[in-house]
Structure 1
């Protein structure tokens, strides 16, 4: 039998939209009575109303009763409850139920319906809610008095706006935790921070987050529809970032009444509010906007209902009573709630059926099924937990404290992030609810305090994590100070950190201030203004210290940045004089006047001193006044090329220099090498790095591939490195290296190599002990000493020698050994000693075709020195196929005068494998050994200068046929020399001392 529905007589319904003062009216009416009970939809709202009632009558007169919390002083006259925790019967003079429109909610509606129909105050009963409840209340409660209250302020539609463009004091509404967190993170980055309100948060955490917003620490609130349930917030604008939600059964669009309930949070008292959409939500249509602005929504047609008369005679009887249908029009049977779902699962357990055999045990089972599913787990898992509790209650009369202690211990941890802490709070809320159930624990007071303590600790930790993740404390404090129109105080630490009101707002490096991210808009301008006031004084003080500092406090890095005590203060850029780059100050506009002039002068003075000190030989050469004529011109070219010239490029100038001129240049540290004219002192790491920088400034080279990686390697003092085709070739030359195929070799090491090769080519068969590596006076083999100084392998050595213009004849080891054992047999194409003394000028003019300047340049992956290896195989490790022996010779006909390494003044006239300045291959340097050669500067008319000279004398070009013969021979066999026809021996005077020498030579041959 269903209980009789009480009449509406004596019941007053105070209805209206949000911001009509309904809750405030109910509080005032309750405290006017001697006793009262008020029911609210949320624990959070119940806590807020409890606080307001305590302020009016004192804490000793007010009780707070929720499913998870009980504050019940002995003399309490007023009770503030959640609707679920309201008593079924009361003798209180006053009863109020807030947000009665929730009677239509599918999940909780039957509870509100039960309280509306059956709970009354002795003197006064108030029902508070939306105007949509008027028809249904008048239908089910005949005689009810309805009072409609108008909204105290207006509500206007503001359209669609980006989240980052929303006005301050806005609430952004979404319906999933992930979306709420994403929006809050975006607002933190763009606007300083946001408070977060979720239904899954504990009331303590939600209160703390709301406090951040209410106190002005943040100007944005990101929340679910929980804010639509009576939370009193100072919100000026409500923006919907989502308009769909999961209602426990399905995803659906919010109806206009729900949208209006949430949008109505905008505006407070008489202050108007606005609402709109943001993110991916489509703008509202005109009809919906009008309904929300005028608060005209479809009325609630039915209220959810479930019987309050349960049959505990058996589980089956209990289930049948729950499924009873209402007999009153306007009520509809509610869908199975969480407790009914749990009962359905437990009714299938044989052990539950076996033990729930009496009315008392069935009633206990139903009480256990009322346990809320705070953890949002599956119905089966929730039913398992209830069964554990139920068995303890039936068998032992109370829940096992050991079991409860273990569950509390697992939850009592404050480590982890937001999701982890939220899960632990949901878990401990379950045991908080258990500890507040009468008769479930042997010592409920202890566990109420214990679980409350753990929940509070977890809630505080969660609030801290939320604040740390979604609130920039620096910005919030500054915003509060700005609202107070206070003068912001700024200070600068010794490390350059700039603080305003104790919060880090940027970094001062040298004379440049970099604001910290996240400060913009009006707040950013105010912060920057406060910081600049402090920076102005700091700039002047720093300028004075820099002006008086020593050179040891300043440094120039590889990118051309001048640093003072490690901080950038200037940057070099190119000027007309490569040795005198221009200095650009790295300073803000606040560095002005004399302070700026002093800084500029000091930095420029340091740069000039640094260049003249590190590059002193080059600087001295640029200032040399004792050099005249061609010597002065050669010195100018050396300075322009930063200390390195390929000898080939200045062959004509060197040829015309007399000994005095050469000596005058040598006094400045210049060396005339076989392949280069250079200053050895500039090959050290520090000068090489600075030279590279000066060139890079002139040629935008600091951004070219390889500059940042290659230069430190080259400047580290290595004698040779593996090359990389991806790097700018000019960097190798500037650092004092010669690019030779797969390896780049330091210039002075190449000159040492020339010193090793020279005696091997000057040795004559029969003139004494054969030096290691000498072969027949015309060719040589690589030696261990060559490999050692180059740090190269035999394969690397082959590339290097080819790059220097040498060519190789390949013979088998047996042939080479036989030749050495035989003494000095005549070989095809070998030159006679007389040929080796060909005049340099003649060699210059007779040669039309150059040797190969460089081998194919294959890039390698690493810049590392290869280990030196012996040229010949050892006896212990004889290969299956002996490698041929390479016999190296100066390349091309008559090239011995050019490719043959010569000492000091004789050096190479037109060196091979060299590049002109700028890093580009010169005269076919990158061609294969047998490739054609275009005219060079020194050759004038394509290498025909000698022939033209003879024609001017009335003769014909010399050796024209021989050159043709040379080219045809090269095509037939490019591995052999093309020798000129041997000269005829002149008859020897018998009385000459050379006759005896010739006779001795003939005897040795025999």
Structure 2
């Protein structure tokens, strides 16, 4: 034991005094040298610095897990454990010698500082707390104290989310470190993580992430207190208690000072404080930390270096030896001694370790570090396996080692899994670097090194993905540098800034990518808007110059440009002129914003006036006078649909010229409604319902946004929902009839089908209730087809229209309808003369659709077919069933005018409709006249659902044109002339103007009969 300090220099002082830098400078000044460092990580850093000075061929790196030894290397960088006990090097340096007082590793540092000397110079580097004990155990030592290059100040307590940038947050458990790092990621973009359990390569990568400025925070254990050179401005203690391997205890001022001293670099001052649940430091502790006044080290941990290998028991007794020098104390059993004590209990071990050489080999195996942090018994079992192989076979069984290495060679899994694999592979890296333990050590050194590096990189990647938002960190770095950010926008609107996905740009609104919040989200948004400033202006210019085809109004009230929402419509005082609210971020300002708003408003007004042109033309009609003008005003106010019953008096008072003038604007006088067929198409129907909903806050009610496109989709009938206002159905062109709503023009076609079946015939009577006791009818396939309804739906619809049903058997219905059909025409009967209105009615009946004509002729056949279908169904079922009754429908008892005002509840039960009475109401007659007189109005083309020609269609006009070429129609013959469709006997004959065309037609018929 060397008890003299001659030739030894101790350079002592707090952190940031440049001690390590001084040692490197002194070493390279000699021809050879060796420096010992407390951590493999720090040894790696110093190795790189020395290589930069003298070249890689001149420097060796020796640790327990790694060995780089170029031939002829003059300098060696080692961990203290890997330093030799004797050397011929000219220079020797030992860093962080205050660790000689550490309970776990202290005896190793004590052994090196007492025994290892350089030939020319020996440096001991450490804290000033070592000065008294060094002077005691090494008399004659030269002490050089170096002051701190910068000052350290206490900054008090702060919340984690309010800590300044370039802060290192210190905790003493992996769970706490991970929790803090996760919080920092959510709030500030990310943090690097440094733990003692990480591999050196992973720790280097994490420190590099912080040093490069990719993240502004470092969350670490007290591992950063051991010589890591970090650019830290502030150190915040999130915990002040740790588990030292034996118990939980508070950190002493010296340990706190070692970590707090990481704040400040070179001449830049640093600060320290507390965060989280740690109470603020008291004034005395603060003063000691700021002035670096700590308790001196009283004793150094010591363990004998003279081992007795004669037997296991002798070895144990030598380890129990006490120091004979004052200032040294026997160290607590370390991991290697604990393993030896366990193995000494195993008879098979004691039997095999029967020579000094084998006992020494056992002690060498016990030096295996416990990287896996397993129990002493488990660790001892692994050492036993290695010892048996070394003694029995001269080397570790490579098959066994290959299996262990293979299990660790996987990069899948999360942080804890990868950390466990790294700990396992580090064990085998240590084995591969022990001299004489393997038959082919070079192969296994390369193999384990490669696996550890791959696992370390994977762990670094997992830590980065979990605790670092690379997008935000890069952007914040560029923002701090006030650099011009490069933005890129994909075809679908994805925004990339500096190559990182930032969010979605839809129209003039930017939505940050999901998962960002707090300051992180603000940073992302700020960076994106800074990069997108020019894009907003360019888009505004493109929208201002775009055509109407690029813009559209959707059913949800949004104005969309190329599919992206740019504005929202809201109600205003005038239903046809809604307000436009621009949907744009604040970055769209000035003239660009004004141009966008003006363009959208211009489109909205143009779209409404174009889609609703018939309504707009009717509102501007100047040739309408009197009742026609008033009726037109009501029609515009009700957006193109009126119930005929509500304006029946006005309609009856209109003369033919007034009606013709309104028809020129697309108005149709139907049996049940006054409406504009052009507005029943999907586009105008959807726009009308949308405008009404905007005016009446309908879009804010549940489901209305979904109902609008359904009603406007061109369907002939839909199932109703009592939860919706009936006005929606009306504006969309539908009549609410109980469980089903039917499109208005389809109801008029239904009236065309029913009309021939209810014609008046001579000899008909009137029932006591005032109803016409003439022809009745059954529903036909044509009726079901145009309505898209089932027989049950048809029953509901007819009841809603005011018809009544008589339930009879199929045979009775067939006999009744056959008799009615046979008596509808009396041979040789002369028809009375008719006035102009009656002639119009006959003309209207004759000009009905093909469906109406075909449905009127085979009524009996239809009933027979229905009975046959029911019979076939009964046969297939093979179950006797009573014949299903057939419904014979007839009009109700009184007309609308005769009924008077019906109570509101009754109207509600009937769906708001009053059905035709006495065969047909006056409204139906008017509807027939309108149908005859219309000239190309509404419903051009084919029906939207059924594909058949609708009312006033080209097919009907073509049919009438063709008939002119075919000559007189057979059904115009007196013998086959159908009776007038009227619910009352013919009116009395009136004087006929001999110059009228009807008088001439009658005279011509008389001549033909004669």
Contact persistence 1:10–1:124 (CA under 8 A): yes
The Cα shift of 1:250 comes to 4.3
Q: Secondary structure at the match of 1:128?
A: strand
1:555 aligns with 2:552: yes
Contact persistence 1:646–1:911 (CA under 8 A): no
State the match for 1:625 in structure 2: 622
State the match for 1:531 in structure 2: 531
1:454 aligns with 2:451: yes
State the match for 2:895 in structure 1: 897
Decide whether aligned partners of structure 1 residues 267 and 594 sit closer, same or farther in structure 2, where only a CA change above 3 A counts: closer
The Cα shift of 1:637 comes to 3.0
- Pairwise mapping of residues 810-829 of structure 1 onto structure 2 (< 5 A)? none
Q: Secondary structure at the match of 2:874?
A: coil
User: For 2:763 and 2:148, how far apart are their aligned partners in 1?
Assistant: 123
- Pairwise mapping of residues 332-343 of structure 1 onto structure 2 (< 5 A)? 332-343=329-340
Q: Secondary structure at the match of 1:47?
A: helix
State the match for 2:126 in structure 1: 129
1:45 aligns with 2:42: yes
The Cα shift of 1:72 comes to 1.9
Contact persistence 2:3–2:137 (CA under 8 A): no
Residue-by-residue CA offset, 1:798-836 (whole Å, 9 max, x unaligned) = 665666667889x8xxx8679769979xxxxxxxxxxxx
Q: Secondary structure at the match of 2:690?
A: helix
- Of residues 354, 362, 383 in structure 2, which corresponds to 1:365? 362
Provide TM-score, normalisation by structure 2.
Answer: 0.73
Residue-by-residue CA offset, 1:61-100 (whole Å, 9 max, x unaligned) = 3321111111223333332211221223333344332223
The Cα shift of 1:646 comes to 3.8
State the match for 1:941 in structure 2: none
1:924 aligns with 2:905: yes
User: For 2:185 and 2:477, how far apart are their aligned partners in 1?
Assistant: 16
The Cα shift of 1:559 comes to 2.6
User: For 1:94 and 1:226, how far apart are their aligned partners in 2?
Assistant: 27
Contact persistence 1:647–1:911 (CA under 8 A): no
Q: Secondary structure at the match of 1:291?
A: helix
Decide whether aligned partners of structure 1 residues 259 and 658 sit closer, same or farther in structure 2, where only a CA change above 3 A counts: farther
- Of residues 703, 710, 713 in structure 2, which corresponds to 1:713? 710
CA RMSD of aligned residues (A): 4.5
User: For 1:799 and 1:283, how far apart are their aligned partners in 2?
Assistant: 81
Residue-by-residue CA offset, 1:287-345 (whole Å, 9 max, x unaligned) = 43333223333444454444444444444554555455556665555444433444455
State the match for 2:220 in structure 1: 223
Decide whether aligned partners of structure 1 residues 144 and 662 sit closer, same or farther in structure 2, where only a CA change above 3 A counts: same
The Cα shift of 1:59 comes to 3.3
User: For 2:737 and 2:242, how far apart are their aligned partners in 1?
Assistant: 72
User: For 1:523 and 1:791, how far apart are their aligned partners in 2?
Assistant: 58
The Cα shift of 1:527 comes to 4.5
- Of residues 413, 426, 435 in structure 1, which corresponds to 2:423? 426
User: For 1:601 and 1:801, how far apart are their aligned partners in 2?
Assistant: 50
User: For 1:358 and 1:742, how far apart are their aligned partners in 2?
Assistant: 103
- Of residues 188, 197, 201 in structure 2, which corresponds to 1:200? 197
State the match for 1:101 in structure 2: 98
The Cα shift of 1:155 comes to 1.4
Residue-by-residue CA offset, 1:19-66 (whole Å, 9 max, x unaligned) = 222323333343444443322111111111222233344433332111
Contact persistence 1:806–1:888 (CA under 8 A): no
Contact persistence 2:690–2:708 (CA under 8 A): no
State the match for 2:79 in structure 1: 82
The Cα shift of 1:500 comes to 5.8
Residue-by-residue CA offset, 1:159-202 (whole Å, 9 max, x unaligned) = 22233322222112233334434433443444344332222322
User: For 1:361 and 1:763, how far apart are their aligned partners in 2?
Assistant: 128
State the match for 1:690 in structure 2: 687
Contact persistence 2:777–2:890 (CA under 8 A): no
Contact persistence 1:649–1:910 (CA under 8 A): no
State the match for 2:675 in structure 1: 678
User: For 2:346 and 2:672, how far apart are their aligned partners in 1?
Assistant: 99
1:395 aligns with 2:376: no
Decide whether aligned partners of structure 1 residues 909 and 140 sit closer, same or farther in structure 2, where only a CA change above 3 A counts: farther
**Range moving further from structure 2, 51-60 or 442-451:** 51-60
The Cα shift of 1:257 comes to 2.8
Contact persistence 2:686–2:709 (CA under 8 A): yes
Residue-by-residue CA offset, 1:952-994 (whole Å, 9 max, x unaligned) = xxxxxxxxxxxxxxxxxxxxxxxxxxxxxxxxxxxxxxxxxxx
- Of residues 112, 115, 119 in structure 1, which corresponds to 2:116? 119
- Pairwise mapping of residues 653-668 of structure 1 onto structure 2 (< 5 A)? 653-668=650-665
The Cα shift of 1:514 comes to 5.7
Gaps of 5+ in 2: 766-770, 818-865, 915-1010
Q: Secondary structure at the match of 1:158?
A: strand
- Of residues 614, 639, 644 in structure 2, which corresponds to 1:642? 639
State the match for 2:1007 in structure 1: none
- Pairwise mapping of residues 300-319 of structure 1 onto structure 2 (< 5 A)? 300-319=297-316
User: For 1:320 and 1:749, how far apart are their aligned partners in 2?
Assistant: 110
Q: Secondary structure at the match of 2:61?
A: strand
User: For 2:303 and 2:795, how far apart are their aligned partners in 1?
Assistant: 98
User: For 1:372 and 1:880, how far apart are their aligned partners in 2?
Assistant: 93
- Of residues 47, 60, 73 in structure 2, which corresponds to 1:63? 60
The Cα shift of 1:374 comes to 2.5
User: For 2:240 and 2:647, how far apart are their aligned partners in 1?
Assistant: 82
State the match for 2:874 in structure 1: 875
The Cα shift of 1:708 comes to 3.7
Decide whether aligned partners of structure 1 residues 228 and 780 sit closer, same or farther in structure 2, where only a CA change above 3 A counts: farther
State the match for 2:564 in structure 1: 567
Decide whether aligned partners of structure 1 residues 545 and 320 sit closer, same or farther in structure 2, where only a CA change above 3 A counts: same
User: For 1:676 and 1:275, how far apart are their aligned partners in 2?
Assistant: 85
Residue-by-residue CA offset, 1:326-380 (whole Å, 9 max, x unaligned) = 5666555544443344445545556545544433333323322322233334445
Q: Secondary structure at the match of 1:712?
A: helix
Q: Secondary structure at the match of 1:80?
A: strand
State the match for 1:255 in structure 2: 252
Gaps of 5+ in 1: 769-773, 825-868, 899-905, 913-921, 937-1006
The Cα shift of 1:265 comes to 0.7
**Range moving further from structure 2, 21-30 or 326-335:** 326-335
- Of residues 383, 386, 402 in structure 2, which corresponds to 1:386? 383
Contact persistence 2:47–2:77 (CA under 8 A): yes
User: For 2:13 and 2:334, how far apart are their aligned partners in 1?
Assistant: 29
How many matched pairs? 854
Contact persistence 2:166–2:231 (CA under 8 A): yes
User: For 1:747 and 1:348, how far apart are their aligned partners in 2?
Assistant: 101
- Pairwise mapping of residues 31-42 of structure 1 onto structure 2 (< 5 A)? 31-42=28-39
Decide whether aligned partners of structure 1 residues 285 and 697 sit closer, same or farther in structure 2, where only a CA change above 3 A counts: farther
**Range moving further from structure 2, 289-298 or 796-805:** 796-805
The Cα shift of 1:227 comes to 0.9
User: For 2:417 and 2:442, how far apart are their aligned partners in 1?
Assistant: 28
User: For 1:314 and 1:777, how far apart are their aligned partners in 2?
Assistant: 130
State the match for 1:290 in structure 2: 287
The Cα shift of 1:723 comes to 4.4
The Cα shift of 1:230 comes to 1.0
Decide whether aligned partners of structure 1 residues 736 and 61 sit closer, same or farther in structure 2, where only a CA change above 3 A counts: same
User: For 1:799 and 1:251, how far apart are their aligned partners in 2?
Assistant: 83
Contact persistence 2:813–2:886 (CA under 8 A): no
1:92 aligns with 2:73: no
Residue-by-residue CA offset, 1:849-903 (whole Å, 9 max, x unaligned) = xxxxxxxxxxxxxxxxxxxx99979424488997996969899xx76424xxxxx
The Cα shift of 1:784 comes to 6.3
State the match for 2:154 in structure 1: 157
- Pairwise mapping of residues 792-807 of structure 1 onto structure 2 (< 5 A)? 792=789
Contact persistence 1:808–1:886 (CA under 8 A): no
Decide whether aligned partners of structure 1 residues 367 and 673 sit closer, same or farther in structure 2, where only a CA change above 3 A counts: farther
Contact persistence 1:648–1:910 (CA under 8 A): no
Residue-by-residue CA offset, 1:457-494 (whole Å, 9 max, x unaligned) = 33334434444444444555555556656555667666
Contact persistence 2:6–2:141 (CA under 8 A): yes
